Structure 1
Amino acid sequence: MAEIKGVIPAILTPMNEDESINYDELRRQANRLIDAGVHGLFPFGTNGEAYILSEAEKMEILKVIVDEVGGRVPVYAGTGCIGTKDTIEQSNKAKDLGADILSIISPSFAKASQNELYEHFKAVAEGVDMPIVLYNIPARTGNVITPETVEKLSEIPNIVGVKDSSGNFDNMLQYIERTRHVEGFSVLSGNDSLILWNLMAGGTGGIAGCANIYPATMASIYDLYVAGELETARKVQDSIRSLRNTFKYGNPNTIVKAAVELLGYPVGKCRAPFNQVPDQGIEALKKVLEENAALGMS
């Protein structure tokens, strides 16, 4: 089984002007990120606009990524749906297409009890023979996977990790504390600003949107930590603050995609209506990208 560790970009989904997917650019972006030293790829995550892609598009994206990656790094596939049956179906399709690891987001829209969430994830784990990473992002789904529920789920053999995008460090810390006794269980940060602190607390890395912009910089946080160069790792972690500050100008996914476009890669805009960055935001991005380029960030 692939090790769940390092910095894994939630790779964006390049699009043409008509909002169709630009698969040629998707392949180029995959190679760009791998060449920069990232430790995995996660297509159609939040930064890949999973929320606005059809199921057929997701499977085609996965097919292209698996083909282009060619086993160089693990490929994570986000196959979580609102319904349990649909999640199992999408997960088995991803398995057939060659994904290495599944990322299963909590169901959304309808409020779920913790027991309902437990039974949902348990059924998915029983329905697909693949390693599963739970995905907690309550601000987007309306459902939180509590530390107690993660601890229970960690006892299921093929539930091997959890990604926490709550932004609440104590929640992520409790995930680590409650699963430390389970050999091989990984806790990943879904907040790019907390990757180093996740590692220092006993986590194994992060799934990072900012790695679309600065793949080498983001990957080096993990590499420096593993090498014991903590002070340098801290400086690198701190270096993305100016970029993160530009997220106030719009949806983070939209900001990330606009930044990659400004770097000269034809990735297009996010799908409407989530595709607007005000002029003030574009100017702020240009300034940050120029300043960070002078610092050698890439």
Structure 2
Amino acid sequence: MFQGSMVALVTPMDKNDSVDESSLRRLVDFHIDNQTDAIVAVGTTGESATLNHDEHCEVIRIVVEQADKRVPVIAGTGSNSTAEAIDYTRCAADVGADACLLVTPYYNKPTQEGLYQHYKKVAETVSIPQILYNVPGRTACDMLPSTVKRLAEIDNIVGIKEAVGELTRIRELVEFASDKFAIFSGDDGSAIELMLHGGKGAISVTANVAPKAMHEMCQRAIVGDRAEAEAINQRLLGLHKQLFVESNPIPVKWAVHTMGLIPPCIRLPLTPLSEKYHEAVKKAMQQAQVL
């Protein structure tokens, strides 16, 4: 079972708008050196929406190769096309990913039954462990706990990344968590509460910038050590907020560039972080003791 701080890894781009392989490999080593518990490649934070099919699969392959079994690699393989999600998931399995993360189909707004059939079809077609991902703020599609409960019965569906940062939703999901099906946070601001209530980790944007602190906070929260988890999380509150002052991954890519780890590049239609936010993000990085 996956648990702890799982970074939603940024995808470095070079000045020619291509994936920067050397920086990507350097990021993988940086996270392993700083105790990140798993790496999520090509999620939302990894600019999956602007990578073509070949780039998508290649980024997963590079991350798997560079990680070299030192930490698990979870590949983002979701799509609003079931057939395309199957293709991406098969690609991830073929290059050796440990699991896949599949966002709910966006834009076309499936019913709850449509969501169930979508995930069931992918899971039955590709045997790799799969994690559901619910982020209605981006997809305009909310997968309800009743649907998640049905999907949790499928053998290779092993968890959900839940980005609805509401305690009521967290409690509903944790009620049917098990050794086989885990609940992960997809919202850094509420991640600590999810873990203190029985969740097993966070798939985190903040972990790009403060990997060691996120690892330590997750470890303490998972075992129920509220006091220590809150003490660590206090340093991270600024990042949880300021890394979303513009659409993710705009602020986090700026922050990781400021740390000297990647070039300052991001693909259109996203644009570099507005200058008016630089100081606020930098202050949050200083509060987190990473700058």
| Same fold per superposition (TM over 0.5) | yes
Displacement of 1:239 in angstroms is 1.7
Structure 1 CA distance for aligned equivalents of residues 252 and 68 of structure 2: 26
Taking structure 1 as the reference length, what is the TM-score of the superposition? 0.93
Q: Provide the residue aligned with 2:249 in structure 1.
A: 253
Displacement of 1:268 in angstroms is 2.4
Task: State which of 246, 255, 276 in structure 2 corresponds to 1:280.
Answer: 276
Task: State which of 148, 155, 174 in structure 2 corresponds to 1:150.
Answer: 148
What code does the residue aligned with 1:80 have?
A: G
Structure 2 CA distance for aligned equivalents of residues 287 and 197 of structure 1: 24
Structure 1 CA distance for aligned equivalents of residues 133 and 28 of structure 2: 22
Q: Deviations over 1:239-294 (max 9, x none)?
A: 2112233245311310011011111222323212212322210122223323433x
Task: State which of 3, 7, 10 in structure 2 corresponds to 1:5.
Answer: 3
Contact 1:249 1:278 in 2 (8 A): no
What code does the residue aligned with 1:109 have?
A: Y
Contact 1:193 1:240 in 2 (8 A): no
- Whether 2:239 is the aligned partner of 1:230: answer no
Q: Structure 1: which 5+ residue stretches go unaligned? A: none
Taking structure 2 as the reference length, what is the TM-score of the superposition? 0.95
Structure 1 CA distance for aligned equivalents of residues 287 and 13 of structure 2: 27
Cα RMSD for the two superposed structures: 1.6
Moved more, 209-218 or 274-283: 274-283
Moved more, 245-254 or 85-94: 245-254
What code does the residue aligned with 2:81 have?
A: G
Displacement of 1:226 in angstroms is 5.0
Q: Deviations over 1:158-195 (max 9, x none)?
A: 11100011233322321111x23x44210000011222
Structure 2 CA distance for aligned equivalents of residues 58 and 248 of structure 1: 24
Q: Provide the residue aligned with 1:136 in structure 2.
A: 134
What code does the residue aligned with 2:87 have?
A: E
Task: State which of 92, 95, 98 in structure 2 corresponds to 1:97.
Answer: 95
Displacement of 1:142 in angstroms is 1.2
Contact 2:236 2:287 in 1 (8 A): no
Structure 2 CA distance for aligned equivalents of residues 209 and 33 of structure 1: 13
Structure 2 CA distance for aligned equivalents of residues 56 and 15 of structure 1: 15
The percentage of counterpart residues that share the same residue type is: 31
Structure 2 CA distance for aligned equivalents of residues 236 and 217 of structure 1: 7
What code does the residue aligned with 2:264 have?
A: G
- Whether 2:206 is the aligned partner of 1:213: answer no
Structure 1 CA distance for aligned equivalents of residues 88 and 222 of structure 2: 35
Relative to 1, partners in 2 of residues 1:183 and 1:289: Cα closer, same or farther, differing over 3 Å?
Answer: closer
Relative to 1, partners in 2 of residues 1:292 and 1:158: Cα closer, same or farther, differing over 3 Å?
Answer: closer
Task: State which of 253, 260, 266 in structure 1 corresponds to 2:262.
Answer: 266
Displacement of 1:100 in angstroms is 0.4
- Whether 2:15 is the aligned partner of 1:17: answer yes
Task: State which of 166, 169, 189 in structure 2 corresponds to 1:168.
Answer: 166
Structure 2 CA distance for aligned equivalents of residues 40 and 277 of structure 1: 27
Displacement of 1:223 in angstroms is 2.2
